[in-house]
Amino acid sequence: MSEEIRRILEAVAKGEISPEEGEMLIKALKEKEKEERNWPEDLSEKDFVLREDEVMEGDLVLSKKKAIIKGKVKGDLVLINCETFFSGEVEGDLAVISGKIEFDGGKVKGDLALVGAKESGRRPSVGGDVARISNFFISGMMKMLSPFISNISVSSKKKKSEREE
């Protein structure tokens, strides 16, 4: 998750800005990032699959999707309210916020954060810290913020096959 989005969500959680203001800021940030990186207009209607031989350049943020991650993400991976199967590799951090994730090994070079998420399977090897936050407060916050973050779906356009490298 980008530092800017994290700050916006923290400001909403602290009551420093309204959820509506947070949503507007996130949308503006998303539009700016899309223009800077030429991201596709909208991935939110499709399931997301990163095959074993594919590499995603940069950070990947998915919201309310069914995702299969078997390839490599060269950045952070943030999954918000997703139903995910993971056996791939993340060079940065992996954050699972709400939703479900089924692990089948894999590798996370950074930190693994599970925030209000349900996990199953064999966890990946993790180079950094593992944080599991699962309590009533977090679940309530995610339900409150879910409508505002449901439209976030960002990815790098540079998805390629390892054979192309």
pTM, full prediction:
0.60
Query: What is the average pLDDT across 24-36?
Result: 69
Take residue 12 and report the two structure tokens written for it.
């909403």
Smallest CA-to-CA distance from 165 within 92, 91, 59, 56 is with: 56
Q: pLDDT > 90: what percent of the chain?
A: 36
Residues 55 and 154: their CA atoms lie apart, in Å, by 15
Whether 51 shows a pLDDT value over 70: the answer reads yes
**Cα-based distances in Å from 29 to 38, 64, 111:** 14, 19, 24
The predicted-structure confidence for 77-130, as pLDDT tens digits, reads as follows: 999 889 999 999 999 999 998 889 999 999 999 999 988 889 999 999 999 999
Which runs of consecutive H residues, i.e. helices, occur in the chain? 3-14, 19-37, 136-149
- Look at residue 63 and tell me whether its pLDDT is greater than 60: yes
